[in-house]
Structure 1
Amino acid sequence: MFPWYSGTSADLLKTLFDLMVSVKVFLGRFDMRTMQVATASEWVAPDPTPQDGDGFTFEHLAEGRELWFDFCADTEETYRTRLFSLYEAALPPPPHVHKGHLVVNKPDVGRGLLCHKATALRRYEGPSSFAIPGNHDWIDGLETFSRHILHRGWLGGWLLPQEKSYWALRLPAGWWVFGIDLALVDDIDTCQYKYFARVAETRMAPTDQAILIMHCPRWLVDWFWGTDTANNLRHLVRGPLRGRARLAVAGDLHFYMRHSFQPYDAPGASSSLVPSAASTPAGGSPVGGSPGSSRAPTPRPDASAPAGVSPTAGFGRPGASSGLRGRSPDPSCPPGGEYRCAAAYPSAQQSESIGRRNLHMFRNMNTRFDVIGGALYYLLVVSVLPRCRHLAAVLEAPDWGTGLSLLLGAAADTVSDIFLESYVSLLALLCMAALALGFAATGGIGAKGDATAADRQRPEFKGRGLAVRARLGGFTTRFLFASLHCAAHVCCAVFLLLLLELGIETVIRHEQLGREGYHSLYKWYRQYEAAHFPDPADMRGAAERWTLGLYPGAIKWAMAAFDAPEAIAVSRDLLCAGRELNRLQALGYYGGVLAYYWLLATPTVALVFGAYLYICVNWFGVHYDEAFSSLQVPDHKGFLRMHITPAGDLEIFSLGLDTVPRAWREDPAWRAPGGGGDAGVPGWRARHPSRWVPVEVRGGYTLRGTPPEAALKVVDYLHVPRQRPVIV
């Protein structure tokens, strides 16, 4: 998993740079999606009619009576781990596929099926796959997605027919799937709008229905951030589609949550987080990012918190359910009903339990965060070293109360010196404050700005008070959170410094450390050597002359390096006496203090930062992405399995896997005849297509574990009946 909290990761720094360039430079001046129309293989007319085989439209799956197909999103961060290694191990590609070769003419079905694109796809009997780019794919301007998806013919054993980043797929019984590319602007471009509008007008019948697939659930994200995006997409749904968009599916958020429309006048209807096998109302907006590389918390609906115009439910009390009201309380609510949370996986209780792990597991999962935290803590106090005042009085205090009071006075004096006298520490403090403020902004704190009393009556403001308050107030709320966060770090850094200084003062007083000056250990060594190893021939003097002082100079400085407490104590006494240090002495003093201070600072900064994430995500409902990406939880995976029945209805099974296997080995049957490793058998026809099987270690023995498919469970079921023509 990607180390998002590693300040030493070159990949992370490159990702941030690419994101800044893509958003601020290219997307503001050029949209790669517009170029796809110009490069379409068969779509060249000024106002073309979409047709099967034009590079955008695919209708080869519409001839069957029923169809099973899956939807999954956010499987990993990199293409190698997210796509090729994963899918090639699950289902090997055909023998004619060569790794690294680009495909010019799609579909790449082999020489035996060379014909028109639409005809070749109809003759192909194996599985196929379609993909849309997510936000990570647009960081480099869609270059990697184009190279590995649009210009490749196979994804493991799945055929990749698509040539563009958005497409329309016709399914049996009048169902369509629209693969929508929102890029990083969270909306479709004009060319994409025209294409889908033409599909709706010329290819879809009045009773056809569309499933919209996009990478980001704007109905949740817009509610959380208080934004209004995807205007072109909204116009497409309300205009050309005119009620034929029955379902919206998205990933990005690493949990499963479904919102379904419920009328106001349904007495006693309620929505619970507990999945049910019973049929639910038609339509809905599932978020299916469960395969994500790190978990995200599942929001908890409040008893009086409907989704309103944005189908979400906010954060609420444990065990609360969503009861319906008899009439619309606000003009902003959709007429006749509203969207409510109908199911979620993992549950809100499980998400809260995972969020608590930040208290004790943040440092274990983000060890390289020590580089950032330790360096900032040390820079915060390096300019106020050493602390010569107050500490002697603390050690001589007659009781604990007086000592604590004097210690607090020393801390206040240290903070005052940081603001009034230091340069490096003040600059580090300003950098930490800026980082805390920016971090609060990215976590959604103060996202909605100020809200009037009338606005607070709207459905999206219902929910747990702390969660609602954290997203209101704009800059004021962000500044408050950032100030408290930064103040906690400054206080810890200062008190750790005073603790270290008290320790040094104690050993100086009671152990007489540093009283003999620098190199006391070497002086003791020379005395011991002269007393026990006499040298009447002056061999040591000759060795010193022959090595030009390298002996015993190397021994002298090696002992000085291992006797850092002495260098710290002697240099501290000199600084407190008002004397200056030369560069070598200063290096020994500040380097020695850094070594000991690092041992205290790194676990403390991780604890404070983990506590901040826990409080924010579990109490205030913000920083959900940051709090769960830090834990890198591999469990609670899932995907959607959809079924178009012979009657034309759509069934959606949300499948979840609570625990992901940790150890794997190659399946011996994979290389046997009829297995996936047999080149003479297509992977999708093999009896054992997957190369790896899970294993478990029990009592020192490695045993075959439970296959993941056997541990899958249905966490939600949705039945969407087919729209049928009305006979007058």
Structure 2
Amino acid sequence: MHRRENPKSPQVDDRKDVGVYICCRAMKGLPAPEMEGLWPLGRRISGGWVQTGSSAEFHRKNEGEGKGRVCRRGQRRGGRRRRGGSPEKGWFVKVDRGGRPVEVVVVIDKRMAKGIRELSKKDQELCCWLDTVNMEKVRTILTHTYPYPHEHSRHAIIAVAIGCLFFISSDNIHTLVQKLDNNVKWWSMYACLLGFFYFFSSPFVGKTIKPSYSNFSRWYIAWILVAAVYHLPSFQSMGVDMRMNLSLFLTIYISSIFVLLVFHLVFLCLWYVGLVSRVAGRRPEILTIVQNCAVLSVACCVFYSHCGNQALNEKRLGRRDSGLFSLWKKGEPSVWLSKFLKMYELKDEICKSWFAPVGSAGDYPLLSKWVIYGEFSCSGACESSDEISPIYSLWATFIGLYMANYVVERSTGWALTHPLSVEKTEKLKNKQMKPNFLDMVPWYSGTSADLFKTVFDLLVSVTVFVGRFDMRMMQAAMSRVHEGAKDDFLYDHLSEKDHLWFDFMADTGDGGNSSYSIARLLAQPSLYALDNNSVQKLPRGDLLLIGGDLAYPNPSAFTYEKRLFRPFEYALQPPSWYKDVHVAVGKPELPIGVSELKEYDGPQCFVIPGNHDWFDGLQTFMRYICHKSWLGGWLMPQKKSYFALELPKGWWVFGLDLALHCDIDIYQFKFFAELIKEKVKENDSVIIMTHEPNWILDWYWDDVTGKNVTYLVKDHLKGRCRLRMAGDLHHYMRHSRVPTENPNSIQHLLVNGCGGAFLHPTHVFSGFDKAYGTAYEMKAAYPEIEDSSRIALGNILKFRKKNWQFDFIGGFIYFILTFSMFPQCNLGHILQNDTFSGHVRSFFSTIWDAFMYLLGQSYVSSTGALLLLVAAVSFVPTKVSRKRRLGIGLLHVSAHLSAALILMLLMELGVEICVQHKLLATSGYHTLYEWYRSVESEHFPDPTGLRTRIEQWTFGLYPACIKYLMSAFDVPEVMAVTRTNICKNGMISLSRGGATIYYASVFLYFWVFSTPVVSLVFGSYLYICINWLHLHFDEAFSSLRIANYKSFTRFHIKKDGDLEVFTLAVDKVPKEWKLDPEWDNELKQPHQPSHLRKFPSKWRANAFHQDPVNTVRIVDHFVIQPTHRLQVAAVNGSASD
């Protein structure tokens, strides 16, 4: 029995009798529609219109919205009424796919199947009964989208590379060494040139740091390296005419770009008028065209170098013989074997068979005026041939293949795809799903807008607001207006628990991998951590304390959302009803069914700000912490930036806000002083949480800060402060009071800033042993002292790899230091010495002369050197005296200046050697183009005047573009010509444009030479300072951007009042993540809060043995007795004495 439905009624009760008919009709030849979703069985589609651009999309949550155009059956569409009955019998869905509309008739139940009969017989043949078909599979097929990946094919690069290696290997490579000049200077120049280019490109080898800069670097290196090698000797011994090949490459390259641009413009015009598929309107990437043109040009040059005119000189093989099997002839296996052993003979056969000419002009009369002709290979004068040039035919073939491939992909490529099954699709989707984590902050980046904003915010905060405006005073003033002001700062809802687990972490929000690793550990219902030879089970903390510096490098909506909230939401999801844009007006905002905070059984979070959170005056912190309710799955009840937490068994936590003053303000001091007087009992125990560990930083900087905090501890708490914990330093260190010292002093000092930020050293602070007049001893350090010293070595070996953006700063500095020394005209005395020692003496004598010129006559370089000296001296920490700062800064600048001058002279010597050996011309800027024009008519005759016609049609752009492209490519020759003019006539003879061209050409090469060296010198400086002088602990380790060695501290207030402390650490942070199938399966089960799930975190490490849950270990474990038990023990100890 079926109940008749109203179209507006959304449900069909009798589901077992429900079926679905789908009829697809391609109105213009389109075989099937593409839809991004199907409504479930028994679901009605509401009437109305849904605007679209590409496909039909139906969403359960948003009826009437999507990407399809939906109308009820029988409704008029496009001026033509469709056949059909009442709306109850189905709907038409019009899918606009590439300009070809498709109709889909959906019939909801069996009773409505008779509506299909109203369709034409042709349409009925296309209809199918889908009762027994898995609707998920149907949805997968219909929703499959062809991505149209018209990208540069790597197969083309591989094919060209293999072809080059094959042809070169066939030409007796051993002759390269035999014919190479015995002069050591050429070996040296090759070694230096290739070495510098290798070190420049080493950060990008095997790792795409940033696609845009990495692609730019590859093309940039290829350009100037080929331009330099082109002028060095010994390539003729390989049978490669570099000059001809470069000329041909540039000519084919610019021609290919012009032809493909015209093709794409025509194709877009056809799309605009509707003559091609609508999908073709997606614009091609310029980089794709450039890369394809480059590979095409290289292939033509390789063919010309190794087959060239030989194919023209030989009689073409017949159709029967000109194939792959023509090399195997019956009865001649030994002949083939001998040919295989002689690679050059095999190459000849390939050139004659596979790359034979396509024919003559007589064979293609219609194309006779639109082709380039070949030549005969002969001795003496050569006459032109009517044979079509094989270079031209190869180029035309590649261009034709590109165009055909492009048209097919943009028009019918979707029909060539084969959608996967539902299971494979889901597996592939889960495999490809990866978290969108940000990298560690590049602190030495010369291009990061965030770093410039950080510097600006810091300057504004320090110079404008410090001492004039303080958000903490504003919070206190606002709280005084309301009754129960202390409720904004005091939280006692946890005090009645029998015992309590809680966690502490600090300095998160840097790299996504490291921050998520810690968040994932914090979110687990329980952790099994290795403690020496045993395993400890530690439940998740009911409370999470975060000690500041929530996002780097500056507080902003972007950094808080991407670097802080995203990792925590991945680790433990907020409630499903929570919206990101929600602003908490009245805190705490509790889930439905929870009347007060003490009834809530989920994890909670309290946060204090750090110095980075204060860079914008605490605005972002207040917005995202004090006016939002959830950090992932952790409830945030706090309303202000500082707070007091009353915990079980007489334990308290004071969360202090030190701002940028490294101390609490007077209103904050007053609140805690009154709280101690009214609430904290004599036998209670207090944990003070601050962002900065001023006890160890004061020792390091020989300073005294936090006087209000010290006064609060000594004169108000009076021995009840059992523990001080802080972050700011991104390592773990614990110092405990020496037993013979004053029992009223703080017992333990704990630093743990390993919540996700870059690592800080521990060996620099290993000498700390006294604070507040009390002696302390180091009990634990992570990483260990020896490991910390070893890690610092990475500044020499990895500085540039970790900080490749520093190139923009370092290369520019070195160029300014040597700007006035270009060119060096009198270098003959260095080359004329006969002994190695004579060369060395002359070389360094010239370096000294250049240095004296810098001091006495230059303006730009001397100013740059002076500014660099000021910056270097200012860069030295104020920990040392002024004289030592000046000495360290002077040595630092001297190292950089010496390296820059040596590089300058090496580069000038290379140019001078090439000029003296006539490898670089000095007559004009267009030598390569003029040579090519002189031989072009001989090698590529044009009897029909095609080049002349092209020149007229392009208004002279055809030869002009090639001419100036060749000049721009040949940077060494531009440098040599301008350098010669300067040395003869002086710098004053150059115009501004000429001077600009010269220094630009110099900079292109000098930047490649200088960037690896400046990073090496600066990295060595940091290593020496951090390991020998114990300076730059922040700068020397932020440069390494180390995501490993992360930790947090878990506390347990036991039933007897003892505070058990575990510090858990992960030595190596995973870099690759995948969707956790356990989490995914659990998510599909009936809804429950994320903190009640067994697998609360979305991502897990790709490798099981690298997951933080499996590698976490305990690096420190100790117990703190409460105050009253400690006092009893002290009394008993003194009585026994």
Tell me the TM-score range normalised by the shorter chain. Answer: 0.7 to 0.9
Distance 1:149 1:234 in 2: 27
Matched, 1:233 2:737: no
Q: CA deviation at 1:347?
A: 0.3
Q: CA deviation at 1:372?
A: 0.3
- Look up the match of 1:59: 492
- Look up the match of 1:188: 664
Q: Are the counterparts in 2 of residues 212 and 245 from structure 1 also a CA contact under 8 Å? A: yes
Q: Are the counterparts in 2 of residues 676 and 683 from structure 1 also a CA contact under 8 Å? A: no
Deviation string 1:341-373 (CA, Å, 9 cap, x unpaired) is 111011011111111011111111111100000
Q: CA deviation at 1:292?
A: 3.6
- Look up the match of 1:94: 575
The residue type equivalent to 2:565 in the other structure is F
Q: CA deviation at 1:259?
A: 0.9
Q: Aligned in 2, Cα 1:33/1:679: closer, same or farther, shift over 3 Å? A: farther
Distance 1:549 1:425 in 2: 43
- Look up the match of 2:794: 357
Q: Are the counterparts in 2 of residues 282 and 719 from structure 1 also a CA contact under 8 Å? A: no
Matched, 1:722 2:1108: no
SS at match of 2:724: strand
- Look up the match of 1:345: 782
Q: CA deviation at 1:216?
A: 0.6
For residue 79 of structure 1, the aligned residue among 542, 560, 568 is 560
Q: Aligned in 2, Cα 1:705/1:206: closer, same or farther, shift over 3 Å? A: same
Where does 1:477-496 land on structure 2 (aligned, <5 Å)? 477-496=884-903
SS at match of 2:762: coil
Where does 1:668-679 land on structure 2 (aligned, <5 Å)? 668-672=1077-1081, 675=1082
Q: CA deviation at 1:558?
A: 0.7
Distance 1:535 1:36 in 2: 85
Q: Aligned in 2, Cα 1:113/1:157: closer, same or farther, shift over 3 Å? A: same
- Look up the match of 1:294: 758
Q: CA deviation at 1:530?
A: 3.8
Distance 1:214 1:158 in 2: 21
Q: CA deviation at 1:546?
A: 5.3
Q: CA deviation at 1:159?
A: 0.8
Matched, 1:414 2:850: yes
- Look up the match of 1:22: 461
The residue type equivalent to 2:446 in the other structure is G
Distance 1:182 1:359 in 2: 36
Q: CA deviation at 1:74?
A: 0.7
Q: Aligned in 2, Cα 1:574/1:236: closer, same or farther, shift over 3 Å? A: same
Q: CA deviation at 1:481?
A: 1.0
For residue 396 of structure 1, the aligned residue among 812, 832, 837 is 832
Q: Aligned in 2, Cα 1:679/1:482: closer, same or farther, shift over 3 Å? A: farther
Deviation string 1:117-162 (CA, Å, 9 cap, x unpaired) is xxx1111111111000011100011111111100001111111010
Q: Mean alpha-carbon deviation: is it higher for 136-145 or for 546-555?
A: 546-555
Q: CA deviation at 1:706?
A: 4.7
SS at match of 2:1044: coil
For residue 520 of structure 1, the aligned residue among 927, 930, 952 is 927
The residue type equivalent to 1:383 in the other structure is S
Q: Are the counterparts in 1 of residues 764 and 1030 from structure 2 also a CA contact under 8 Å? A: no
The residue type equivalent to 2:934 in the other structure is Q
Distance 2:690 2:603 in 1: 21
- Look up the match of 1:667: 1076
Q: Aligned in 2, Cα 1:123/1:534: closer, same or farther, shift over 3 Å? A: closer
Q: Are the counterparts in 1 of residues 975 and 1001 from structure 2 also a CA contact under 8 Å? A: yes
Deviation string 1:198-222 (CA, Å, 9 cap, x unpaired) is 1110000011111000111001111
Q: Are the counterparts in 1 of residues 689 and 725 from structure 2 also a CA contact under 8 Å? A: yes
Q: Aligned in 2, Cα 1:634/1:504: closer, same or farther, shift over 3 Å? A: same
The residue type equivalent to 1:432 in the other structure is L
SS at match of 2:777: strand
- Look up the match of 1:271: none
For residue 909 of structure 2, the aligned residue among 502, 513, 532 is 502
Distance 1:265 1:209 in 2: 19
Q: Aligned in 2, Cα 1:154/1:538: closer, same or farther, shift over 3 Å? A: closer
- Look up the match of 2:606: 130
Q: CA deviation at 1:550?
A: 2.3
The residue type equivalent to 1:653 in the other structure is F
Deviation string 1:477-530 (CA, Å, 9 cap, x unpaired) is 111111111111110000000000000011111134224332111110111124
Matched, 1:711 2:1120: no
Deviation string 1:156-188 (CA, Å, 9 cap, x unpaired) is 111101000000000011110000000011000
- Look up the match of 2:502: 69
The residue type equivalent to 1:563 in the other structure is D
Distance 1:560 1:417 in 2: 32
Q: CA deviation at 1:240?
A: 1.4
The residue type equivalent to 2:1000 in the other structure is G
Matched, 1:384 2:821: yes
Provide TM-score, normalisation by structure 1.
0.84
Q: Report the count of equivalent residues.
A: 637
- Look up the match of 2:1059: 650
Distance 1:220 1:112 in 2: 47
Deviation string 1:649-686 (CA, Å, 9 cap, x unpaired) is 111111111111221111122233xx357572111111
Please say which structure displays the higher CA radius of gyration: 2
Distance 1:29 1:245 in 2: 32
Q: CA deviation at 1:537?
A: 7.0
SS at match of 1:129: strand
Q: Mean alpha-carbon deviation: is it higher for 533-542 or for 495-504?
A: 533-542
The residue type equivalent to 1:69 in the other structure is F
SS at match of 1:342: strand
Where does 1:628-647 land on structure 2 (aligned, <5 Å)? 628-647=1037-1056
- Look up the match of 2:81: none
Q: Aligned in 2, Cα 1:679/1:422: closer, same or farther, shift over 3 Å? A: farther
SS at match of 1:659: coil
Provide TM-score, normalisation by structure 2.
0.54
- Look up the match of 2:180: none
SS at match of 1:596: helix
The gaps in structure 2 that reach 5 residues or longer are 1-439, 510-551, 553-558, 1132-1137
Q: CA deviation at 1:293?
A: 1.7
- Look up the match of 1:466: none
Matched, 1:601 2:1063: no
Q: CA deviation at 1:263?
A: 3.8
Q: CA deviation at 1:113?
A: 3.0
The residue type equivalent to 1:478 in the other structure is R
Q: Taking every aligned residue pair, what percent have the same amino acid on both sides?
A: 44
Q: Mean alpha-carbon deviation: is it higher for 512-521 or for 102-111?
A: 512-521
Q: Are the counterparts in 1 of residues 763 and 789 from structure 2 also a CA contact under 8 Å? A: no
Q: CA deviation at 1:636?
A: 0.7
The residue type equivalent to 2:868 in the other structure is M
Greater RCO structure (CA 8 Å; 6+ sep): 1
Q: CA deviation at 1:402?
A: 1.9
Distance 1:679 1:98 in 2: 21
For residue 618 of structure 1, the aligned residue among 1018, 1027, 1032 is 1027
Q: Are the counterparts in 1 of residues 872 and 892 from structure 2 also a CA contact under 8 Å? A: yes
Q: CA deviation at 1:401?
A: 1.7
The residue type equivalent to 1:377 in the other structure is Y
Q: Are the counterparts in 2 of residues 41 and 55 from structure 1 also a CA contact under 8 Å? A: no
Q: Mean alpha-carbon deviation: is it higher for 417-426 or for 541-550?
A: 541-550
Distance 1:677 1:492 in 2: 62
SS at match of 1:511: coil
Q: Aligned in 2, Cα 1:545/1:282: closer, same or farther, shift over 3 Å? A: closer
Q: CA deviation at 1:84?
A: 1.1
- Look up the match of 1:284: 748
Q: Are the counterparts in 2 of residues 519 and 556 from structure 1 also a CA contact under 8 Å? A: yes
Q: Aligned in 2, Cα 1:685/1:515: closer, same or farther, shift over 3 Å? A: closer
Where does 1:163-562 land on structure 2 (aligned, <5 Å)? 163-264=639-740, 283-299=747-763, 307-309=769-771, 333-334=773-774, 338-389=775-826, 391-440=827-876, 444=877, 446-447=878-879, 472=880, 474-533=881-940, 540=947, 543-544=950-951, 547-562=954-969
The residue type equivalent to 1:723 in the other structure is T
Distance 1:593 1:408 in 2: 22
